[in-house]
Structure 1
Amino acid sequence: MNGDPTTTPAHACNELAHAEPRASLPFVLEGSVTLIGSSPVIVRVRKLIETASATPCTTLITGETGVGKSIVARLIHLAHLGDQPFVRVSCGCMSDHLIEAELFGYEKGAFTGAASAHRGVFEQAEGGTLFLDEIATLPPHLQTSLLGVLDDKIIRRIGSEMNRRINVRIIAATNADIEAAVARRRFREDLFHRLDVLRIHVPPLREHREDIRALWDYFVNTLGSHDGRRFRTPDEEHDLLVQYDWPGNVRELRNLAERAILLSNDSTLQPSLLLRNQAAQTAPVAGNAGEARFLPLATVEREHIRHVFTRMSRNYTRAARVLGISLSTLRRKIARYGLDHAD
């Protein structure tokens, strides 16, 4: 039902065993789950969350990267299944074989390296919610398997002959144009309709700018409370934040708040300076022939890393946190750009 177990290579087990854990909620601070904002579009999202919470129907959450789709999924779960498991899997971050093992599990000896049995996420989420993020990236053969699970509520582990009945609520999310994927036959139409029982679209931040101040204050107050510090943001700074288009949406706003706090010399935050530096690094520069040219990406990245690394007193851990990358990635980039011995 879930594909031929003999096609699953040995590296699937190894990948699964060594896969890095990912944060399940990009905007959750100190374990809280909340949807900030009072704009009409956010009020509508809240109402749809209430509707979804009142029924076990499959729900599809759409929206750009960084808008808070995982927050919406968690809120739906917490309304009535808060004491049950909430399991998130990102369909776009694993190989075809790894996602199959992750979804359905496998038995001991199912393939080379399967030293013990492994419960898949359907079993792990029993009685609760399975959140399938980036669902549009699911490989075609697994789209067929998922459709069967949604219809029959039955799974079979790789290497097993036994069917297992499941009781799991399915919430899926995508930042892609899934209707276009259906039209191009990259996503099964029948699976799309099976997932799209209730649709919740989370709007980009630029479409509810009136919520930016409340979001900013929430992030600053919560992040600043970690070390007992309190910050103020002048009204003119709030105005500049509202004018910015936020291509990274709420995630970008949250990350900017953290950078502003870490780089601040006093209790007054000036986040527009960070946005201004970013804009300046990517702004076109006049060429010799009067044509516009842009700085190479490597140059922009090198200068930004150098700036943050210097401001963090060359502390690798703090710089990696501000930049939003792993410590190993930062060390590699610093070595590549020759910043390890730079003044």
Structure 2
Amino acid sequence: MKREFSKDADKLINRLWAILDREDAPEARIGEALDLLNQESVAGKAPGRSCEIAGSFPRLKQAGDTPKPVGGDRRVVPAARKKEQATMLIGNSTAMRAVEVAIQRISNTSATVLLRGESGTGKELVAHRIHSLSERAEQPFVVVHCAAIPETLIETTLFGQERGAFTGANQARKGRLEQAAGGTLFLDEVGDIPLSTQVKLLRVLQDKTFERVGGEETFSVNVRVIAATHRHLEAMVHTGEFREDLYYRLNVVPLTLPPLRARRDDVPLLIAHFLDKFNRANSRHIQLGQDVVHMMSVYHWPGNIRELQNCIERLVVLAETPLVNMEAIPESLTPYFDHMRTVQSQPTTKSNSPASQQTLSARLDAIERDRLRDALTKTGWVKAKAARLLGMTPRQVAYRIAKYQLIEES
């Protein structure tokens, strides 16, 4: 049955179709359409009809955010809300509440932020949330995974290149800094940037200026830098692998993210989130039994959120029954869950406490440190030779020297 609306409502519908038929991001279109509905409802141009009008648009109905009619919540939904929702942090533990308080405090400043924490704790997500809540939210958020870029390419990646800068440079290219102009540049694993590039990055943080590789023109850029690392930068400064002046420029606002074992109460929430995500992605309807959820909640997750996400995805893809309990774990994941079962079945004693786990980690570190020191002593502190002796790369040896703060004895 065709709905009949007033002339004002017809105009509103036409405006909604104009928004929804654009070719930009669907989240932006839906968010703008919902904002318009709220504004028209509050202004009294479509009193009491906003829900009915929104119901005639499947895309708005599916958005699950149909605005209330006048008489309910009269607040206009801010356009930036969709960005906040896209980068919401999942968790209600004390540790994550503290992280969220810090994010709210620093997001609207221009200060450089250094995110610390173990691998897999969600540093990029936190960086994106800081950006989304800042005044730069409508500007680019550009990510550079420093550890994944060869040393020979890191400068051109960051600063761009001029035509003829090197063999094969047939045209000028903008670097990530220029691409992030007005927005935020996220430097993931900043500790992997070579010393030669650290000097140029320091200049960007100090003066907001740089030159492209092979060029003489100086560019100015308005960009906020958020850096992240799981490495011990202080030790790297001590061994000369990381510039001290750059360290202080990056470490203006340090924010340490907790490992998943320190926020166990959040594991069920994360499980529910990843289940929904991967069920949608794979057109499945897999649910986990309470025994599986409990076992996953008490596991220590050394790979943190990234490991948990991988585990959930494998369960969703490989599950043979809609409800997965311990008896229905896919065969390829059985050893993984057997290990979890072993951890859970151990009695709660002093030896199974977090402090003891840290002691075990310290013991392993001590063994590695002693082996590294012995290899360096035997090879006269030649990193390349020590690396061959240990079966490592020179870069891995250099990282561990910094990690354990080893100094050559005179």
TM-score where L is the length of structure 1 = 0.70
The equivalences for 1:105-120 within 5 A come to 105-120=160-175
Q: Deviations over 1:176-221 (max 9, x none)?
A: 1122222222111111111011111111101111100000011102
Match of 2:207 in 1: 152
Write out per-residue CA displacement over residues 304-325 of structure 1, whole angstroms, 9 at most, x where no aligned residue: xxxxxxxxxxxxxxxxxxxxxx
- Give the whole-Å Cα distance in 2 for the aligned partners of 1:242 and 1:179: 33
Structure showing the higher helix proportion among its residues: 2
Q: Give 1:55's aligned amino acid.
A: T
The higher-RCO structure (CA 8 Å, 6+ apart) is 1
Structure-2 residue corresponding to 1:256: 311
Separation (CA, whole Å) in 2 of partners of 1:242 and 1:233: 12
Distance in structure 2 (CA, Å) of the matches to 1:220 and 1:130? 31
| Distance in 1 of aligned mates of 2:282 and 2:158 | 40
Q: Secondary structure at the match of 2:245?
A: helix
**Mapped pair 1:198 → 2:261:** no
Q: 1:164 to 1:271 in 2, by over 3 A?
A: farther
Distance 1:279 1:270, change over 3 A: closer
**Cα deviation 1:249-284 (Å, max 9, x = unaligned):** 101111111100111112112479465413769x9x
> Given that residues 261 and 269 in structure 1 are in contact (C-alpha distance below 8 angstroms), is that contact kept between their aligned partners in structure 2?
no
Indicate whether 1:230 and 2:285 are aligned.
Answer: yes
Q: 1:237 to 1:278 in 2, by over 3 A?
A: closer
Is 1:64 matched up with 2:118? yes
1:94 maps to amino acid: I
CA contact (8 A) 2:161 2:175 kept: yes
Correspondence for 1:129 among 174, 184, 205: 184
Q: Is the 8 A contact 2:291 2:326 kept in 1?
A: no
Q: What letter corresponds to residue 131 of structure 2 in structure 1?
A: H
Q: How does 1:324-343 map to 2 (within 5 A)?
A: none
Answer with 187-196 or 174-183: which moved more: 174-183
What amino acid is the match of 2:123?
Answer: K
Equivalent position of 1:277 in the other structure? 335
Gaps of 5+ in 1: 1-30, 284-343
Between the two proteins, what is the percent identity of the paired residues?
A: 40
Q: Which residue of 2 aligns with 1:242?
A: 297
Does residue 77 of structure 1 match 2:131? yes
Change (3 A) 1:181 1:270: farther
1:154 partner amino acid: T
Does the residue aligned with 1:266 lie in a helix, a strand or coil?
Answer: coil
Stretch moving more, 219-228 or 150-159:
219-228
Q: Which runs of 4+ in 1 moved over 2 A?
A: 31-34, 225-232, 269-276, 278-281
- SS at the partner of 1:260? helix
**Contact 2:271/2:312 (CA < 8 Å) preserved in 1?**
yes
Report Cα offsets for 1:89-117 as digits up to 9, x if no partner: 11111222200111111111111100110
- Structure 2 CA distance for partners of 1:275 and 1:197, relative to 1, 3 Å: farther
Match in the other structure for 2:86: 32
* DSSP 3-state at the match of 2:324: coil
Deviation (angstroms), 1:228 = 4.6
Give aligned pairs, total: 253
Q: SS of the counterpart of 2:198?
A: helix
Letter in 2 for 1:57: A
Q: How far did 1:134 drift?
A: 0.5
Question: How far did residue 227 of structure 1 move?
Answer: 4.8
Partner of 1:90: 145
Q: Is the 8 A contact 1:256 1:271 kept in 2?
A: no
- Residues 1:100 and 2:155 aligned together: yes
Residue type at the aligned position of 1:187: F
- Whole-Å Cα distance in 1 between the matches of residues 290 and 337 of structure 2? 21
1:67/1:250 contact within 8 Å kept = yes
Secondary structure of 2:147's match?
Answer: coil
Going from structure 1 to structure 2, the CA distance change for 1:260 and 1:176 (only over 3 Å counts) comes to same
Instruction: In structure 2, list runs of 5 or more residues that go unmatched.
Output: 1-84, 343-410
CA separation of 1:259/1:270 partners in 2, compared to 1, >3 Å: closer, same or farther? farther
Q: Which moved more, 1:46-55 or 1:98-107?
A: 46-55
AA matched with 1:192? Y
1:216 to 271, 277, 281: 271
TM-score normalized with structure 2 length: 0.59
TM-superposed deviation, 1:239: 1.2
